Chain A
């Protein structure tokens, strides 16, 4: 008798260990989607909010290496369309910046027409820039009024705050900008101002940026000395802002889009709402990817749960046999097994959500910069968390049903032996 009790005690401890492992497996499986979906959703929502506050309602763009040819001329044509208040060609190129210490940093250079750029951005973004932009030149429009650019450049540049802090640069310093890491190809610029950047998930290194007149950037990026060769009139984007009915009515805005598209049938002309939709679609695809990735973990967790429940049926076969011998209905025995599976999965889901939350908080506090900033944007949506928990609970019923079926198939006489 004593031996039987000792053996029962060991079985109980073994059973508890199995339960703990099953809860841990479910928790691990749940924490992954919690982290992925909360961080991914947060980042997407943040980028969406940035896009929605961008200000320019229409963007003319081209893909790949092909630039928008005659962008200044096109901007002038777009400006003549009704409701258009500003059209700003923009060229974005990755270049290299050498500071006084000789260290080199890759930076994103944005070439803009100073007088046209600020009216196309939102009030929120505009507040990040000095106004008017201290880029010195009368404007590129003056140069292009006479056809191709003829210089001379003013050699003024404004730099982003993260880069200024990184390179210890201030207004009045000089900086060498080059199209490649070769300082021999560089041109020296005066820093005439700094601009802020909105919080971003690409980290401070990604926010290293400079802004200079469009024509200066065209000269800098390898089309030869301005004095001796013409500069192609190109950009990769034209940001357009509108006013009046076009700013509030989709149909009126579409009329403006159509008018621009007639000017440039081969370029992409998209509205802000279209870009928002595209971003939302991309975000949806990402969420689907997260769910697919998480489902692998969840499947493993639930298979483990099914195995534990089947193992419990095996180790509890005598108890199940006793219940069935007494005459307890099958549904009562099955519901006990289903409840056990449900309890394990709900406990695992709750712990998994807590672990996921703790992981995100940990990343937001201690991770390296980019990951940390992404984690800080995480959104823990109660609806999503509830859906995850309910999904796990629902799937656990399948695992429980499998174990219940096995329990109800036990031969009573065999089970009691």
Chain B
């Protein structure tokens, strides 16, 4: 479960632009020529007002989307122009997503949700069950492995989501407002959990949040405005 199993890439954006509805009257410039390098193992918070391009940036970093212009590189290798299938494979093996609304599959139990990414990698059933249980134990949900998402509290759902994000030992963890729907107690618990797993695995963690308490835990702070990085601040 520790470092060597995790492949932690450095991520680089060079002149990345993302425009929606390009060429139409409703054209939206979500990102405008972003140049950014995030080193392996960094903990970066992304802040900024609504609509400034935080989620678009996260989607591009996580290969959920492709740039309209510019280049995205993982460990120096261009990935922005990969096929859908190749991007999906990289996401499966290298990226763990944690969403504001948890996005657990309602028809699967907590353990099955955690097993899902491993199933896609054809991990043998016994191995993936063992690992899913281990991850659920790590996030404090040993007793809830057979519960369905609707039987869990918001904090528990997000902990399952964290366990799922870690299932395939990703080197890059992307969290989009992971505490946005949680109370302060659960916010602190989830944040502690994210910090703990990042440190244990030396993974890169990029976290979008409006919450200053959350952002304060990061070592680097990106502030975005109008689709561009307005400030890039590193903790001493």
Contact = CB atoms under 8 A, between A and B. Distances in A.
Interface of A: 1, 5, 8, 318-319, 321-330, 332, 412-413, 416
A404 to B, nearest CB: 14
Given A326-B92, A326-B97, A328-B88, A413 B64 contact: yes
Given A326-B97, A327-B90, A329-B85, A412 B103 contact: no
B116 interface: yes
A34 B3 CA distance: 62
A329 B103 contact: no
Contact of A325 (B55, B84, B97, B106): B97
A312 to B, nearest CB: 12
B59 A326 contact: no
A5 B150 CA distance: 7
B93 interface: yes
22 contacts: A1-B181, A319-B105, A319-B106, A322-B105, A325-B62, A325-B91, A325-B103, A326-B91, A326-B97, A326-B116, A326-B164, A327-B88, A327-B92, A328-B117, A329-B89, A329-B92, A330-B85, A332-B119, A412-B64, A413-B56, A413-B59, A413-B65
> Secondary structure at chain B's binding surface: helix, strand, loop or mixed?
helix
B7 to A, nearest CB: 14
Nearest to B56: A413
Contacts of A318: 103
Nearest to B176: A416
A332 B103 contact: no
A326 B117 contact: yes
A327 B84 contact: no
Interface string B149-169: 010001000000000100000
Contacts of A327: 88-93, 95, 117, 120
**Could you say which of A324, A326, A413 has the most chain B C-beta atoms within 10 Å of its C-beta?**
A326
Contacts of B92: 326-329
Contacts, number: 62
A8 B65 CA distance: 28
Given A327-B88, A327-B90, 8 more contacts: A322-B105, A326-B116, A329-B85, A332-B119, A412-B59, A413-B56, A413-B64, A416-B103
**Could you say which of A327, A332, A412, A416 has the most chain B C-beta atoms within 10 Å of its C-beta?**
A327
Nearest to A331: B85
A277 B90 CA distance: 65
Contact of A328 (B56, B95, B103, B120): B120
Contact of B88 (A8, A330, A413, A416): A330
B99 interface: yes
Interface of B: 55-56, 59, 62, 64-65, 84-85, 88-93, 95, 97, 99, 103-107, 116-117, 119-120, 150, 154, 164, 181
**Could you say which of B55, B65, B103, B119 has the most chain A C-beta atoms within 10 Å of its C-beta?**
B103
Given A1-B154, A5-B150, A8-B150, A329 B99 contact: no
A416 B99 contact: yes
Contacts of A332: 119-120
A328 B85 CA distance: 9
A332 B120 CA distance: 8
B84 A330 contact: yes
Contacts of A413: 55-56, 59, 64-65
A325 B88 CA distance: 8
A329 B150 CA distance: 26
Nearest to B87: A327
Contacts of A322: 103-105
Contacts of A329: 85, 88-89, 92, 120
A330 B89 CA distance: 10
A273 to B, nearest CB: 60
Contacts of B120: 326-329, 332
B54 to A, nearest CB: 13
A302 to B, nearest CB: 25
B186 to A, nearest CB: 12
Contacts of B150: 5, 8
Nearest to A318: B103
A325 B85 contact: no
Contact of B116 (A321, A328, A416): A328
Contacts of A330: 84-85, 88
Contacts of B119: 332
Contacts of B64: 325, 412-413
A343 to B, nearest CB: 14
A229 to B, nearest CB: 90
A5 to B, nearest CB: 5
A121 B59 CA distance: 86
Contacts of A8: 106, 150
